[in-house]
Chains A and B, each alone.
Chain A
């Protein structure tokens, strides 16, 4: 019977290896952090497969913070232990006279809580003289001159008697004995802090409960000839751990979905409706918001005209008619831009870019083809943030152009009537990351931090039920008493993060780009109009002047300088759309400034500058990450993205 198992397993492995070989090559480029690059191609291959499997099994683990165990540690072992085969094979090299000759080895890293469920297997290559082998877990610092399980914070399952040892010299009857040829698995459930073992793919049931955190996979040997091989994911496991994980994933999801709200049903409904409503209002979906409010009999805080005004201004910005947008803002919200010079400067910079683009009304009026009153905005993105993860292509397009030091006129103080008063600097690489366009409050660290979220944070919100999940999630996560104190602190961080995120209108849609490409041939500077070009140059000077004025008033501002440089650099190229800083001309770049303006207006009206829905998503995301840090294993199966469809 036992022999039967292994022959099957072996053949299964071979098949999976072959199938993996086929796609190994292209994926090699993606090798993550922590991979050791050795010359041996077979090893590289195994390393690659290990990375793939670990990524799949433990997607919530951030290996930069908490690396996963990948081999036995050559430093954390007793001298009677020998390691070989990339530190995966363990053999005994002591005298093995009595229990005083026992020796153990720990893995390189402790098991991260974010695994949720962690699993490794050990194959008994040889039982040696007596087969006194122990497989288990131990905390750092536990004596290595012992078998796992004998000491405090040490746990083991022993092959000679099949007993489990829970921090004690005397074992409890647990499972069958094991010997040469057997594969013993050890699974740590970090959600309920239990552990069970498997033998040849069969679960033997819970062995330990109330496990402490930060345990290391550990094996111990005691007599000569004992050899065991570890599998931390290098090979497919004999036990179907993914099936076990799927059960827990379903459990956690069920728990969230069925989170009892009891008497508070009405309260919750009101909150949810409010969230939807505020989201709609925030983005200026006036008609939808009104309809929603009517249907749910809720009130909208902001009055209709105000929403419509904001909607109008946003539309103008998104259409590239920034000049008009500034005008409208000054007219409708007097004092707003005057008090927020950073925003004004950003807008003006954008206006300049749009002039280059030929879309701003100040240059557009010279053009015959488009009257100012036109109501359709070709090429502009739609108002609402869309789904879609950040498109790596677009990012790399910008990042791949490190310099733009063409023969450009020297910078600054250039008061001549140069046709191309471009300001350039050798180092002005254009970072295309949308979040790099920061507006006043947000600092640059926030923007990089928020980058990974951009895919999820702008998810849209049609479905009330979905928000229900999110809310549930937030509440469930927050109800964990352990974290409440800290959570408060983090909430602030979220708020700042998400403020950046709202601007991240990552409209990386292929269709839009294509639309642009089509019109590419006919694109000319300022729409190809001479007068417009002159107006643009004049505007550029004004902008320069504004910058200098701001410098005098508030001191130097690197961000402004960079913005200005980038904008002016456009003029240095004969085809600005296809130059290293051409990214700026992309209509999608309007969104950041658009949402910044929108937030500023809302703030000036004493309304929240970001919709509570986004705040909730941000909080939930942060919460899940926090759970990993406070070692709550369920975070692994409660990921926010699995609730955003």
Chain B
């Protein structure tokens, strides 16, 4: 028999297998169908609320036999006639059943009994037996996760899905109830719902059968919709049209499950969201129905889920962020969900949803930041487990501990979202009690979720010049940040390195200590990452670091990065990486001595790279940046010659001076202007060099172009050209 429990458990269970459990299973094999039915019924009564009994029966192989009986019942009508008989019905309907129900305790008892009583009234024997089998299976599924695993391994899902074809409603409901129990378990692979393409359409058609089918099917959908593909499958089979009417069902359960289903369907799904916004339910727009579900006297679960639906629709662009239903209803509702009065789970979900809602919209961030003292309210998220709970109540401590991480990460996420744009809000956040300390300790928490959220929060706040200068430095956030950067998972690395970029900005007082901590090697290794985001951040940080840096730092960067890697980055498929690499080059090639030094050692390769980029298919911005590098090179004393001796480059500069884009013209003109620069008081040989260059450039026709450019429409360009001409005259 398919006994698939884990080994140690199996032994302990087997040792307790009693003769009675064996007896139950044996009866399922009785030749007399009537006896079999009675056996199933007795088994049902024996397992309700009894986990040990359930495990025993599974070990003894009851499941395959029950599935066999179930499928037999479905195929043969023979059994039906045999078992049929009034005798049977009276027996089943006996008071035994009801008294039994009272004796056995357990959470599932009541629901089971409802089905039970309903099923007893069936008149056809075959349906009775099948239904009883499913009820027993459902009962077994209500046990431990191991039970579910065993059931799934016995292929219960296809068998039950098969059963849904039967016309009998009670039987269908029993199947759905059992399927629901199996599918909502985390151990069941959701893909099993989608393997047979006829299943989803059939489930959709069953939605209209009864409130129970609605309840179970929407629960199954909600739990089995985990990817955009799942969303699309359900959407394509008319989930929205079929489920929308359930939002005004008389049954709260059905309304709630339908709402949950919509929240899952709409999550990050533009297609679903755009459709939802136009759906009418009983003459009302769906968004209005959702708004009504935000009413404060309704159960929190409903308010929260409705707010999620509206949030997802808003993020998908189906509802404007300045719509009344978002500003005056959804946002305040989500803020309320963060309040101390709510359960910890609700506070986590509320904060996460709110963070998601306002992430892209500064106006919503501003409104949220003044709603119900949200910023201060979030500080409470860090107070779990509280010192009180530790002493007074072990149970509460356990509960608090379990949620403490979730709470902290949710709060960090929300702070990150709140502070992503507005300087005043950032200030408000950093001024919240112990906020910076909390972030700092959050960066080194064991939970990766918390670390990630903390670094996101830090990143958001690091966009503030003022905070970089003050609180960031005061709390030495760079230390834990640097620590975090050592072998963290990619998602954390992206955020952390992005934050580091800001910390390395020239005005940041943290720049110095970070440099001293040997960050260059780390950043250079980032540039070799497979992730484009990490490469960008690595090179970006280096670029920031090189800005107005001294010779030593620049040398270290060039040495650590290596020209090979530098040129690899210059041919990176990611434009961002290319741009920042060019930016780095530009920062490296600033101030004359630095230019000459770097060009003397790497001049050849750099000129090659520049040529390559100017010849390649690149955006205006890239070419502009490249021309700026040339202009910098042209500013060097000795480096100039690398351009002057390169006719190819000079031709390219000439070409860009006549380009249709003013930015490129300007950059190219800059370059020429640097070449013809006639510095007063310079040494004589430089002077002569200058004269030669001017002559050469005149020969190449640059003077004519400059002359033309003095008439340019762009005032900057015009000005630059005039200055260059003046140097010619000098």
Contact = CB atoms under 8 A, between A and B. Distances in A.
Interface in A188-239: 196, 199, 201-206
B297 interface: yes
A201 B328 contact: yes
Interface string B317-328: 000001010011
A593 to B, nearest CB: 45
Contact of A203 (B297, B324, B327, B372): B372
B708 interface: no
B134 to A, nearest CB: 36
A199 B363 CA distance: 14
A545 interface: no
B297 A247 contact: yes
Given A4-B322, A176-B370, A202 B332 contact: yes
A231 B78 CA distance: 78
A426 interface: no
B295 A1 contact: no
A204 B322 contact: no
Interface in B286-333: 295-297, 322, 324, 327-329, 332
Interface residues of B, number: 16
A435 B332 CA distance: 51
Contacts of A176: 370
B367 to A, nearest CB: 6
Given A1-B363, A201-B328, A202-B332, A246 B296 contact: yes
Contact of B324 (A8, A243, A249): A8
Contacts of B322: 1, 4
B371 interface: yes
B373 interface: yes
Interface string A234-265: 00000010011011011000000000000000
B380 to A, nearest CB: 13
A244 B332 CA distance: 11
Contacts of B327: 5, 201-202
Contacts of B377: 205
Contacts of B370: 175-176, 199, 202, 204
A249 B297 contact: yes
Nearest to B296: A247
Contacts, number: 42
A203 B332 contact: yes
B371 A243 contact: no
B573 to A, nearest CB: 40
A249 B322 CA distance: 30
Contacts of A204: 370-373
Contacts of B367: 202
B297 A250 contact: yes
Contacts of A8: 324
Nearest to A8: B324
A243 B296 contact: yes
Contacts of A202: 327-328, 332, 367, 370-371
Nearest to B367: A202
A320 B710 CA distance: 118
Given A204-B370, A205-B373, A246 B297 contact: yes
Contacts of A1: 322, 363
Main secondary structure of the interface of B (DSSP, over half): helix
Interface string A246-286: 11011000000000000000000000000000000000000
A176 B367 CA distance: 10
B425 to A, nearest CB: 11
Contacts of A247: 296-297
A159 B373 CA distance: 17
Given A1-B363, A202-B370, A203-B372, A240 B328 contact: yes
Interface in B556-596: none
A244 B296 contact: yes
Contacts of A4: 322
Interface string A41-74: 0000000000000000000000000000000000
Nearest to A240: B328
A206 B376 CA distance: 12
A205 B340 CA distance: 13
A151 B322 CA distance: 39
The bracket for how many chain A residues form the interface is 20 to 34
A492 B327 CA distance: 53
Contacts of A246: 295-297
A205 B295 contact: no
A53 B331 CA distance: 27
B673 to A, nearest CB: 46
A173 to B, nearest CB: 9
A250 to B, nearest CB: 4
A4 B320 CA distance: 12
Interface in A508-543: none
Nearest to B431: A173
Contacts of B329: 240
Interface in A615-639: none
A205 B376 CA distance: 11
A175 B329 CA distance: 19
Contacts of B297: 246-247, 249-250
A205 B371 CA distance: 6
A175 B374 CA distance: 11
Nearest to A4: B322
Contacts of B373: 204-206
A206 to B, nearest CB: 8
Contacts of A244: 296
Nearest to B376: A205
Q: Which of B297, B322, B324, B373 has the most CB of A within 10 A?
A: B297
B704 to A, nearest CB: 54
Contacts of B296: 243-244, 246-247, 250
Interface string B324-350: 100111001000000000000000000
B622 to A, nearest CB: 37
Contacts of A205: 371-373, 377
Contacts of B328: 201-202, 240
A292 to B, nearest CB: 23
Nearest to B341: A251
A558 to B, nearest CB: 52
A338 to B, nearest CB: 58
Interface in A395-448: none
Contacts of A206: 373
A205 B368 CA distance: 11
Nearest to A250: B297
B75 to A, nearest CB: 50
Nearest to B321: A1
Nearest to B370: A176
A636 to B, nearest CB: 15
Contacts of B372: 196, 203-205
A207 to B, nearest CB: 10
B340 to A, nearest CB: 12
Nearest to B373: A205
Interface string B275-291: 00000000000000000
B385 to A, nearest CB: 26
Contacts of B295: 243, 246
Nearest to A239: B328
Interface in A595-610: none
Nearest to B377: A205
A523 B322 CA distance: 72
Interface in B369-398: 370-373, 377
8 contacts: A1-B322, A202-B327, A202-B328, A202-B370, A243-B295, A247-B296, A247-B297, A250-B297
Which 8 interchain pairs have the tightest Cβ spacing?
A247-B296, A250-B297, A205-B373, A205-B372, A246-B297, A1-B363, A201-B328, A176-B370
Interface of B: 295-297, 322, 324, 327-329, 332, 363, 367, 370-373, 377
Interface of A: 1, 4-5, 8, 175-176, 196, 199, 201-206, 240, 243-244, 246-247, 249-250
Given A203-B372, A206-B373, A247-B296, 6 more contacts: A4-B322, A175-B370, A202-B332, A202-B367, A244-B296, A247-B297
